[in-house]
Every structure is written in structure tokens, then in C-alpha cells.
Amino acid sequence: MLGRAWADENGKAPLLDDPYGVLRAQGLALPAGKAVRVVEGAPGETLSVPPQRASAQGGSAAGEERVSPLVIF
């Protein structure tokens, strides 16, 4: 799916416009009510997605065990 998006502009547009729908159509189980964003980086650009604090995910601020991993591209 991602390979097609990089190789074909017609494959990239739907992924950028409706990533949730495209991923669901590919059979990926996504939690209801969660937003999905696909970001196209520019040449020479590094994208960084910092983890969300556990308190924002419904956990306690003191116990950060529910923090999502940092994603860097």
C-alpha cells in the first residue's frame, strides 16, 4: 500500500485524503473514533511524531507505561 503511494500519484492521493478509509479497506483494524493522519515529507525533511502522554490517553500522569512509541521518519 505505501509502496504504491510512493510509486503512483493515483495511489498516493487517496491515502493522503482519507487514510482511515484506505487503511480500513486494506483490512487494517483501526479503533473507532481515532484520527489517522498521513503526512508527506519534503525532500531532505525528517518528520518526528512525539509520543502522547499517558494522562492524555486515559492513564495516570505518574505512570507513563501507556505512552506510545516515538516515530521518526
Measured CA to CA, the distance from residue 60 to residue 73 in angstroms comes to: 29
Given a contact cutoff of 8 angstroms between Cβ atoms, the answer to whether 5 and 12 are in contact is: yes
**Would you state the pLDDT for residue 56?**
57
**Would you state the pLDDT for residue 36?**
84
- pTM for this entry: 0.57
| Radius of gyration, CA atoms only, the chain | 15
DSSP 24-55: HHTT----TT------PPPTT---EEPPPPGG
Q: Mean pLDDT, consecutive 10-residue segments, the chain of 73 residues?
A: 78 88 87 83 83 62 53 53
- Sorted by where each begins, the domain ranges of the chain are 1-40, 42-73
| SS percent in the chain: helix, strand, coil, step 5 | 40, 5, 55
**Would you state the pLDDT for residue 61?**
52
